[in-house]
Each structure stands twice: as C-alpha cells, then as structure tokens.
C-alpha cells in the first residue's frame, strides 16, 4: 500500500487509539468498551454441521509502540443443533495471539531486471513510499473429544480440527488486514474522516 508519509504516515495510523478499530468493519468487529472487541468469525462447515465462533479480544500497542497485539480472551461457539446439543462451547479452550507490525520503504528506481528497488525513507527523500503491514498469528486449541467424534481416528480428528482452525485464521486475518489497508487509505486521503476519528477518540476518552 502507499505510505502517505509525515503526519499521514502508516506508522501514525497504526498508532491511533485501538478503540477506533471497530471502524474497519462494523459487521465483523463489535466494540465492547475500551480496548475490548468481539470478532464474528465467518461460518465454518464441517461434514454436515456448521459452527460460528465469536471471539472476544483485547487490542493494544506494544510497550515500544512498534506493534499492535490482538489477544483472544474468550471464544463462544454457536452452530447447528448437533453443536448446540453437545455443548461444545463448554468443552474447549482457545489461545489466539496476533501481532501486527509495519514498515515503509521508498521506490527509488529500477534494478537491471526492471524491478523496483527499495530504500528506507531516511535513505531517499524521493520516490514513492510503500508501506507494508505484516501479521503473525499463533492459534492453540484444546478440546474434549465427545461423541460421536470419539469414533474418528485420531489423525483424522486432528487433521480436520487443524483444517478448521486454519480456515479461521486464513479467513479472519486476511480480511482484517484488507480492511486495515483500505481504512488507512481513507484516513490518509479524507480530512473529514480523520476529523471524525479524532472526535470519536476524544469522546471515548471523556466517557472513560
């Protein structure tokens, strides 16, 4: 994505109050107050049943203000009748931590192969600044195996569970990152939107 630099830099955007993250996608992210949010994970189908996790997370900047950390504090499962009848919501524990970091570089020409070459903004005051946001996710799940899933071979159960959890991360994180990039562009190019975000942050501070 383009980094607009100076007061509109990607770094300035990423260090905005995390309370404003619900602006990214109100359908996916619901504010719970302060730095707590509920993330609605898209429906996951497994055989003839389906499940929709709702993950409560806390979002905060790292101590050095060089990363945004998203930590799951609770996860609730809703789903098809089988999921509800088995009370799977009470039979598992989830640990989910995502770390978002960012960097910027300036496109300063092309190399011998025609590819763009990059320098840090400090190395070159010319060129087009490119910003990059990277996400690193760790997801661990512990679950009690209940009927009828206890009849499945262990390798099949583990493989299926890993596939479902992988789908959660593979769906939720890219969608979040995509919304983040679009919101940054809007924030950097729309003064009215920036002012609205600033006013919302002041209102949140007064409310607390």
Q: What is the pLDDT of residues 84-135, one digit of tens each?
A: 887 767 777 778 899 999 998 754 444 455 444 444 444 444 556 889 999 8
Instruction: Locate 62 and state its tokens.
Output: 């790292």
Q: Report yes or no on whether pTM surpasses 0.75.
A: no
pLDDT in the model for residue 109: 47
202 pLDDT band, cuts 50/70/90, is low
**Residue 122, number of CB atoms within 10 A of its CB:** 7
* Alpha carbons 42 and 45: distance in angstroms, whole number: 10
8 Å CB contact between 134 and 102: yes
Domain boundaries 6-103+131-207, corresponding CATH code? 3.30.530
Residue 205, pLDDT above cutoff 60: no
* Alpha carbons 122 and 43: distance in angstroms, whole number: 45
Q: How confident is the model over 37-79, as pLDDT tens digits? A: 998 877 777 777 788 888 898 999 999 999 999 998 888 878 8
């Amino acid at each position: 994505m383009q980094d607009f630099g100076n007061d509109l830099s990607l770094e300035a955007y990423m260090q905005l109050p995390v309370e404003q993250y619900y602006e990214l996608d109100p359908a996916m992210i619901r504010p719970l107050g302060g730095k707590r949010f509920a993330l609605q994970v898209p429906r996951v189908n497994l055989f003839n049943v389906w499940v929709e996790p709702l993950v409560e997370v806390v979002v905060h900047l790292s101590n050095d203000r060089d990363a945004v950390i998203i930590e799951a504090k609770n996860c609730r499962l809703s789903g098809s009748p089988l999921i509800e009848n088995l009370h799977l919501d009470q039979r598992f524990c989830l640990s989910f931590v995502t770390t978002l970091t960012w960097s910027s570089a300036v496109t300063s020409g092309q190399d011998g192969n025609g590819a763009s070459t990059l320098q840090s903004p400090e190395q070159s005051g010319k060129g087009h600044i490119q910003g990059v946001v990277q996400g690193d996710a760790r997801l661990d799940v512990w679950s009690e195996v209940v009927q009828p899933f206890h009849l499945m071979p262990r390798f099949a159960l583990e493989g299926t569970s890993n596939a479902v959890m992988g789908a959660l991360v593979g769906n939720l994180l890219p969608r979040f990152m995509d919304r983040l990039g679009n919101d940054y562009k809007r924030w950097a190019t729309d003064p009215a939107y920036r002012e609205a975000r600033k006013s919302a942050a002041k209102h949140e501070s007064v409310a607390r």
